[in-house]
């Protein structure tokens, strides 16, 4: 495989509104950068730089509330769009200062005659100062106007507000006997055997079940919980949905209430709760399900909750934890965790067809053919299969099935309102840096094998990641890459097959199709040439552009209006001479293109 990437100088990019906060944070950091400060001081523009930094920090404090209210306020949404546009321009200005500082550092030691000549060339410090003064004052004026508007909205300061509240759900242990669960019988048997095999263990064992949202972790836990052998083996069975509220007192109180079938009115004093927990559980062999756990603070589990839960109960007691993150599983496990896999093609079709043809609809040959293509797009995710099958159960016309097939699952009614919210819950738990790095992956085609090192370099080049402690940018990129893998945003990491043209030692990974839909949903600034041509849109609102194989570059020049904010131009499977033929053309369209990596 032959791949070229064109990387532009680092910049904090703004994606969809949900990524505006991390972008503004990055811009504020860049405004305080030592290189930028050096150049603005030399140009006599340090006061303007400081004013820009203060305004960015002021906006940053209120963006969380602005985003929350923009869901129902069209005026706020327009304001955030304007802020996004100005952020692009501010990022470009700060990049110019950084670049000029680095250029001048590289010039040290050059001949005196060359330095003198620089004053009358396009690199003249005098011309640079004049041009940058105009640019900086221009963006500063626009940001001042937006801050004045912002102050009229009555937005709350995030410093005085609680953290963003994530969607919360309550689950239960009841299994609907009329509901068929496909493809999980082997998983159920394996988990039941694991539970029963712990009967001689004196300490409470913790078994995590983890995997991507929508895989059916809760459904599997219900199957195990209601299994006849499990019901007979354990003296006490309890189910508690943790969700995002990993509050030790609340969890212990709930377990006491479940064990006694009564209300726990004790105060939130751990010592009292611990004594009561000892009394109600005693030496009973218990089975506890902690469903939907998100906590990744090892100290909170190891030092606070684990000593309480694992110091009670008789031999053979087990806690089953369901979670989406391998990190959560690794923190809590005492038994090797169960990683839930996607359904097989056969099980996927069985689940889908059971829903799609449930209303007595005839399994027409053409509908089956279309249905199997839709099943393939669901990628073995039970939630998507169930929802798409249910959506099609009320449609019996071939053209209706084709319409749904031709649309991304995330854009269909069932996908938009049921699949995407489940996946977005995982996205909301990502850090700002991880959100940007994940959303950027929308640039690649579906089912594309992304090279790990190249992906990290692109994240670095776009300024998505910052050094932290002793970690440099490359190490931080490695950390984020593996975090996204552990959380199922990326998958199928492997050593690349040399027969496909990869160099030795290259590591590649993929994204599940629905995760790709999620990335597109949270980022509106990754696009392909085909999408722009189809929508008759210009590149000026696109930040990252993908060029397909053998693209006719001459026919795409109309997409560039000379005011583009393009930061990444990704060309897949190009031949070197094709790139050489059109380099000059694109230098004039884009303005800044570095040599291919």
Q: What is the pLDDT of residue 576?
A: 36
Q: What pLDDT, in 10s, does the model give residues 322-345?
A: 999 999 999 999 999 999 999 999
Give 91-107 pLDDT, tens digit per residue. Answer: 889 989 988 888 888 87
- What band does 27 get if pLDDT is binned at 50, 70 and 90? confident
Q: Report whether 247 contacts 273 (CB < 8 A).
A: no
Average pLDDT over residues 26-51: 90
- State how far the Cα of 593 lies from the Cα of 538, in Å rounded to an integer: 19
**Bridge partners, 510 (sequence order):** 491
What mean pLDDT comes out for the span 182-194? Answer: 96
Distance CA 565, CA 528 (A): 15
Q: Which pLDDT band, with edges at 50, 70 and 90, does 23 fall under?
A: confident
Mean pLDDT of the chain: 83
pLDDT tops 60 at residue 113: no
> In the 8-state DSSP scheme, what is residue 498?
G
pLDDT at 538: 63
Q: Is the pLDDT of residue 279 over 80?
A: yes
Cβ contact 587:6 at 8 Å: no
Question: Which pair of structure tokens corresponds to residue 282?
Answer: 């005693």
The pLDDT of residue 358: 84
Separation in Å, CA 50 to CA 1, 136, 299: 47, 11, 39
User: pLDDT > 70: what percent of the chain?
Assistant: 83
The tens digit of pLDDT for each residue in 230-256 reads 999 999 999 999 988 899 999 999 999
Query: Cα–Cα distance between 510 and 491 in angstroms, integer?
Result: 5
- Report the distance separating Cα 384 and Cα 366, nearest Å: 21
Q: What are the two backbone dihedrals, phi and then psi, of residue 484, each rounded to the nearest 5 degrees?
A: -65, -35
pLDDT value of residue 537: 65
Helix spans in 285-431 (H)? 298-299, 306-309, 326-332, 345-356, 365-378, 382-392, 398-405, 413-414, 420-428
Mean pLDDT of 119-134: 75
Residue 427 has pLDDT above 80, yes or no: yes
Specify which of 157-161, 258-262, 423-427 reaches the highest per-range mean pLDDT: 258-262
Taking the model in full, what pTM does it have? 0.81
C-beta of residue 101 within 8 angstroms of C-beta of residue 39: yes
Neighbouring-strand partners of residue 287: 237, 318
User: Who's near 8: CB < 8 A, 6+ residues apart?
Assistant: 461, 566, 567, 568, 569, 590, 592, 593, 594
Lowest mean pLDDT among 156-160, 182-186, 476-480, 502-506: 156-160
pLDDT classification of 258: cutoffs 50, 70, 90: very high
What average pLDDT does range 556-579 have in this prediction?
61
Percentage of the chain surpassing pLDDT 90? 51
pLDDT at 387: 92
pLDDT band (50, 70, 90) for residue 480: very high
Q: How many helices (H) and strands (E) does the chain have?
A: 26, 12
Residue 101's beta-bridge partner residues?
A: none
458-462's contacts with Cβ under 8 Å and 24+ in sequence apart are 458/5, 458/7, 458/568, 458/570, 460/10, 461/7, 461/8, 461/9, 461/10, 461/568, 462/10, 462/11, 462/13, 462/436, 462/544, 462/567, 462/568
Tell me, what's the pLDDT at 497? 74
Pure H helices in 172-293:
185-196, 217-225, 228-233, 248-260, 270-281
Read off the pLDDT of each residue in 581-585 and give the average, rounded to a whole number.
33
Q: Which residues of 208-237 are buried (b: 16+ CB within 10 A; e: fewer)?
A: bbbbbbbbbbbbbbbbbbebeebeebbbbb
What six digits make up the tokens of 37?
A: 């400060």
* Residue 243 β-bridge partners: 293
Residues 492-547: pLDDT tens digits?
999 877 666 666 778 999 999 999 999 988 887 888 887 777 776 666 668 888 87
Spatial distance between the Cα atoms of 194 and 337, rounded to a whole number of angstroms: 10
pLDDT at 159: 53
The one-character DSSP state at 419 is: I
What's the rounded mean pLDDT across residues 123-132?
Answer: 83
CA distance 593 to 547: 15
Q: How confident is the model at residue 374 (pLDDT cuts 50, 70, 90)?
A: very high
pLDDT, tens digit (0-9, with 9 covering 90-100), for 57-92: 998 888 888 877 887 888 888 898 889 888 878 988
Query: How confident is the model at residue 524, as a pLDDT?
Result: 78
Q: What average pLDDT score do residues 563-569 get?
A: 73
């Amino acid at each position: 495989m032959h791949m070229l990437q064109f990387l532009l100088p680092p910049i904090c990019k703004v994606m969809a509104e949900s990524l505006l906060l991390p972008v503004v944070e990055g811009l504020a950091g860049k405004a305080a950068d030592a290189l930028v400060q050096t150049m603005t001081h030399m140009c006599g523009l340090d006061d303007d730089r400081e004013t820009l930094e203060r305004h960015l920090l002021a906006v940053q404090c209120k963006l969380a509330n602005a985003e929350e209210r923009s869901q129902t306020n069209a005026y706020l949404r327009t304001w955030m769009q304007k802020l996004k546009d100005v952020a692009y321009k501010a990022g470009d200005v700060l990049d110019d200062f950084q670049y000029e500082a680095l250029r001048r550092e590289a010039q040290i030691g050059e001949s005196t005659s060359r330095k003198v000549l620089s004053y009358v060339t396009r690199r003249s410090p005098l011309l640079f100062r004049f041009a940058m003064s105009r640019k900086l004052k221009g963006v500063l004026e626009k940001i001042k106007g937006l801050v004045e508007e912002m102050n009229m909205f009555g937005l709350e300061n995030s410093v005085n507000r609680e953290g963003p509240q994530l969607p919360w759900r309550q689950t239960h242990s009841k299994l609907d006997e009329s509901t068929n669960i496909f493809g999980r019988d082997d998983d159920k048997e394996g988990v039941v055997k694991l539970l029963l095999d712990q009967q001689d263990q004196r300490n409470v064992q913790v078994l995590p079940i983890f995997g991507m949202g929508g895989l059916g972790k809760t459904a599997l836990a219900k199957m195990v919980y209601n299994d006849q052998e499990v019901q007979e083996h354990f003296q006490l069975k309890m189910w508690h949905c943790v969700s995002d509220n990993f509050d030790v007192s609340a969890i212990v109180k709930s377990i006491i209430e479940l064990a006694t079938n009564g209300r726990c009115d004790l105060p939130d004093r751990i010592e009292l709760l611990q004594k009561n927990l000892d009394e109600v559980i005693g030496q009973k062999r218990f089975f506890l399900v902690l469903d939907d756990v998100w906590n990744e603070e090892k100290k909170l589990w190891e030092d606070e909750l684990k000593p309480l839960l694992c110091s009670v109960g008789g031999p053979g007691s087990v806690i089953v934890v369901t979670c989406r993150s391998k990190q959560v599983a690794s923190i809590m496990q005492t038994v090797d965790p169960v990683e839930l896999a996607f359904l097989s093609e056969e099980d996927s079709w069985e689940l889908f067809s059971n829903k799609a043809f449930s209303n007595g609809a005839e399994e027409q040959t053409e509908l089956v053919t279309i249905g199997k293509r839709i099943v393939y797009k669901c990628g073995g995710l039970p939630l998507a299969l169930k929802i798409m099958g249910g959506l099609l159960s009320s449609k019996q016309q071939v053209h209706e099935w084709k319409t749904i097939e031709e649309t991304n699952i995330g854009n269909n009614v069932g996908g938009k309102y049921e699949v995407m919210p489940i996946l977005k819950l995982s996205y909301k738990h990502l850090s700002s840096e991880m959100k940007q790095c994940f959303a950027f992956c929308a640039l690649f085609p579906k089912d594309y094998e992304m090279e790990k090192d190249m992906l990290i370099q692109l994240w670095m080049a776009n300024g998505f990641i910052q050094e932290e402690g002793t970690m440099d940018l490359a190490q931080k990129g490695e950390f984020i890459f593996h975090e996204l893998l552990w959380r199922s945003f990326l998958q199928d990491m492997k050593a690349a097959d040399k027969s496909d043209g990869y160099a030795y030692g290259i590591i590649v990974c993929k994204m599940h199709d629905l995760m790709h839909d999620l990335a597109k949903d949270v980022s509106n600034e990754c696009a392909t040439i085909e999408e722009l041509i189809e929508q008759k849109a210009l590149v000026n609102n696109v930040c990252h552009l993908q060029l397909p194989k053998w693209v006719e570059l001459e026919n795409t020049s109309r997409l560039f209006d000379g005011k583009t904010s393009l930061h990444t131009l990704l060309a897949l499977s190009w031949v070197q001479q094709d790139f050489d033929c059109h380099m000059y053309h694109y230098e004039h369209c884009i303005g800044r293109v570095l040599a291919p990596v």
